[in-house]
Chains A and B, each alone.
Chain A
Amino acid sequence: MSVLYIMLPAALLIAGAALYAFIRAARSGQFDDVDTPAYRILTDDDAPSGDAP
């Protein structure tokens, strides 16, 4: 079980890396507009879908 003394810091390091990535994303403005992408995904396909009314 003494592997925990290595595993716990390692796990914390990984969590820290993920947090760092998120903070960088937030600071570079990736979360500035959270509304439009939800609409944009509807129109991403260029070909009109066949079942459209």
Chain B
Amino acid sequence: MSAAAVQTICTHCRLSVPSGLVRIGDANQFCCAGCETAYTLINSCGLENFYALLDRSGSQLDRPKATRRAYEEFDDPTFRSLYCRTVPDGLLSIELVLEGVHCVACIWLLEKLPGIAPGVVEARVDMRRAALRVTFDPARIALGRIARLLDSLGYPPHPARGLAARQARRIEDRRMMVRLAVAGACAGNIMLLFFALYAGMFEGMERGYEQMFRWVAMGLNTICLIWPGRIFLRGAWASLRTQTIHLDVPIALGLYLGGAWGIYKTITGSGDIYFDSISALIFFLLIGRTVQQSQQRSAADALELLFSASPTIARRVTPDGTVTDVPTEALAPGDIVEIRPGDSVPADGAIVWGESRIDLSILTGESKPSRVGPGDAVPAGSVNRASLLRIRVESTGESTRIGRLLRLVEEASQRRASIVRLADRWGAWLLWILLGLSAVTLAIWWHAGPAIAIDRAIALLIATCPCGLGLATPLAMTVALGRAARCGIFIKGGDALQSLSKPGPAGTVVLDKTGTLTLGRLSLVRWIGDETVRSLIRAIESQSAHPAAQALCRGLSPSTNSPLPATGVIQHSGAGIHGTVDSHSVIVGTRMLLTSLGVSIDDAMEAHATLAVHDGLSPVYIAVDGRCVAIAALGDPIRPDASIAIESLKARGWRINILSGDHPELVESVARSLGMAPSQCRGGVSPEGKLAIIRDLSSRGRVVMVGDGVNDAAALAAATVGIAVRGGAEASLAAADVSLSSEGLSPIVQLLDGARRTMRTIHWTIASSLAYNAVAATLSMCGLISPLLAAFIMPASSLTVVAICLRSGAFRFTSAIPARARSHDTTPSLGEMNTSSTNPLPERAIA
């Protein structure tokens, strides 16, 4: 079949082009007018290089979504005073959070903005936050025009919110960087001084030099202790005050007792000093702390777009009927707000005037706008699609539905992984053990004199400082999360990995059906009957925008020639379509439509239709010239990797359940074809029902919920671990602990394996660092420890931890090539689908 060869790809977005739009002999083909506009725009600005970069990055793009909003509020003086910052030379600077930034080509295109829009002085992208800082000359270009331009390029902009909070975060980050630098510089220089001192130990050294080195090292170490090291003292103090001893206490004890004793030794001019170990400890521990902090930050960054997407300016209607623009922050419950078509709703409220359709996709993922009228509630963040509305504000800002959701998610990401807390809990034990051991040391060596005894006890406290322990868990987690992200698995926190590592008793994986187990779109699965009428059907169905008609069109058109002309086409709402093509009368629709138009259906066709229904497909009857000649069975095909993935999940000890809002019979037929018992699946479940079932299951054991977002957000958040699969709504991505960017179910298996290996790595690192501590404790109790030995053991312990983390096998398996192969076989191209439908198979085509 030559179908795949003929398939046409859109020059701009690389999706396939509907056959009706293919222009024969043209080098550039476009799937929609938007792509053509974008292509023309990009070319007219001299930026064709975008397409070369696109090919190089090899990534599959989501369909760019230009909203074509007017962005009038961006030109408002209130808006400008709220979000713009004045910079020298009369320029303004604003930070915008953009949708749709995902690769190198995006950065390249966005940073070329000054070339496209005269008046823009500079544009800088922050990739991790998908933020763009634009500096522009307000006299030469309006902000609204910049916003419209960004939107037309496919990056709808939103002003960055929460500037104060982020400023505070940024300052904290910079402070951490400075601490690291100071600690690193001190540790490095002290190490150099100690090289000389150690050499002097063996070769002999003039007393004057030795004293100088010791005093300089003491000075540097004191700087290190009172500047970057203060963070541990503060942590220890806080933990003592709240009486929850954690790891900071034994760390601070070793550091500061050792430091103070060292100063005494330096002043008296004799005895062992451990300044090199102490400063190196501070440096290593700070690295651990920084890594952990950045891991928590990345989760918060992911939320920023969602938060910024809620509108910034509201049109408040005053009692005398005039409309004024006010910042959304100024809205209060009871205010009447006007929402024009295309604007998003600024606050939760109820409609007092007007009828329209609103788009709830940011909250629920449901892309079809729903019809609303007076009295209906509209949530903040939804978009008015049709006509003017006035709403009475009920709650604003943080207390709106989307605001509450965001807060929940933020709290969840603040939660530290319980394994990190576990290491902290050991802090108390460790403290008592270390104090006990040093008391024992003190007692053993008391006979040799108090000075020596104290010396040994403090050496023990320094040498057994739980540095490796503090470093182990955050490092292992961060390495795992980073590697997972490179495989397209985005994990928000360490908790998720810990829960996913093993099923535990009664561990259950709950799978949503539509979009998770199935491809999530209606397709032609089977064609039974006359093959010759296919072009007639395509001609008539191309006139309709109904999802079933489009599925038929996609499935029926292996060739790229434009469809035959159809005349006298009449659509019967919810029943089908009829008309005349090539002087044949054609009817496509339900059984009812055909019989009402006087077509008789013979038994053979009826049998085929019944069989299709039994298999969970929807039969469409096709009549040409008054005779039923074919049945087209439409359905949502099961993902090709579903059954293998389910088998391997079962093999790992997880129980599998299917939950779906779809009709129970459909759900059962999917379960049957995946080899699952009907008792394991439940159909017709409402979002609240899903939530209740998940709550019930999680009271019995770990629950992993996998969903694509349509009404799944609550269930995803309630599960032990929520996994959002690709294409889900923003809300579900925010509520989920893990989101997958590649299609299909096999990433879930990878995720579970990776989690198990990560936990194994963590256990190994903890064991190895405890082993080092045990060795160091034994040595110092025997009086065998010396500064030189301690200086070897400490870095060795940290390096072992780092080495174990880096060579861990977690999330290792994916190189670029298998990843591409996988994404290819899970998303059958149009060509493959056509092939399957031209040769009607007795079994389900894809499964």
Q: Give the interface of A toward B (CB within 8 A).
A: 1, 4-5, 8, 12, 15, 18-19, 22-23, 26-27, 29, 31-33, 35-36, 39-40, 42-43, 46, 48, 52-53
Contacts and interface: CB of A to CB of B under 8 A. Distances in A.
A52 B52 CA distance: 7
A35 B128 contact: yes
Given A8-B216, A26-B177, A52-B56, 18 more contacts: A1-B206, A8-B213, A15-B185, A15-B189, A26-B178, A29-B174, A32-B126, A33-B126, A33-B127, A36-B107, A36-B127, A42-B104, A43-B53, A43-B104, A43-B105, A43-B108, A52-B52, A53-B56
Given A5-B212, A43-B53, A48-B52, A31 B185 contact: no
17 contacts: A1-B209, A4-B212, A12-B189, A12-B216, A15-B185, A15-B189, A19-B181, A19-B182, A23-B181, A27-B178, A29-B170, A31-B177, A33-B127, A36-B127, A42-B104, A43-B107, A46-B49
A42 B185 CA distance: 32
B174 A31 contact: yes
A36 B128 contact: yes
CB-CB nearest 10 A-B residue pairs: A43-B108, A36-B127, A26-B177, A35-B128, A19-B185, A33-B126, A48-B52, A22-B181, A39-B104, A35-B127
A12 B55 CA distance: 51
Nearest to B58: A53
B173 interface: yes
A1 B206 CA distance: 10
Interface string B207-222: 0010011001000000
Nearest to A44: B108
Interface in B110-132: 111, 124-128
Contacts of B213: 8
Contacts of B104: 39, 42-43
B178 A23 contact: yes
Given A8-B212, A12-B216, A36-B125, A52 B55 contact: yes
A7 B661 CA distance: 77
Contacts of A46: 49
Given A19-B185, A39-B104, A53-B56, A26 B174 contact: yes
Describe A's contact surface by its main secondary structure.
helix
A48 B49 contact: yes
A40 B123 CA distance: 12
A38 B592 CA distance: 62
Q: Among the interface residues A8, A39, A43, which one has the most CB atoms of the partner chain B within 10 A?
A: A43
Contacts of A43: 53, 104-105, 107-108
A32 B125 CA distance: 12
B764 to A, nearest CB: 29
Interface in B170-192: 170, 173-174, 177-178, 181-182, 185, 189
Contacts of A52: 52, 55-56
Nearest to A36: B127
Nearest to A5: B212
Contacts of B174: 26-27, 29, 31-32
Nearest to A19: B185
Nearest to B298: A35
B181 A26 contact: yes
Nearest to A9: B216
A9 B17 CA distance: 72
Contact of A40 (B56, B107, B177, B212): B107
A4 B209 contact: yes
A26 B185 CA distance: 15
B128 A33 contact: yes
B644 to A, nearest CB: 32
Given A12-B189, A43-B108, A36 B178 contact: no
Contacts of B181: 19, 22-23, 26
A26 B209 CA distance: 35
A19 B128 CA distance: 28
Contacts of B111: 40
A8 B212 CA distance: 9
Contacts of A15: 185, 189
Contact of B170 (A8, A32, A42, A53): A32
Given A29-B170, A53-B55, A36 B177 contact: no
A34 B213 CA distance: 37
A48 B182 CA distance: 43
Nearest to A38: B127
Contacts of A12: 189, 216
Contacts of A26: 174, 177-178, 181
Contacts of A1: 206, 209
Contact of A32 (B108, B173, B185, B209): B173
Contacts of A5: 212
Nearest to A47: B49
A37 B55 CA distance: 21
A18 B170 CA distance: 23
A45 to B, nearest CB: 9
Nearest to A37: B127
A50 B209 CA distance: 61
Contacts of A40: 107, 111, 125
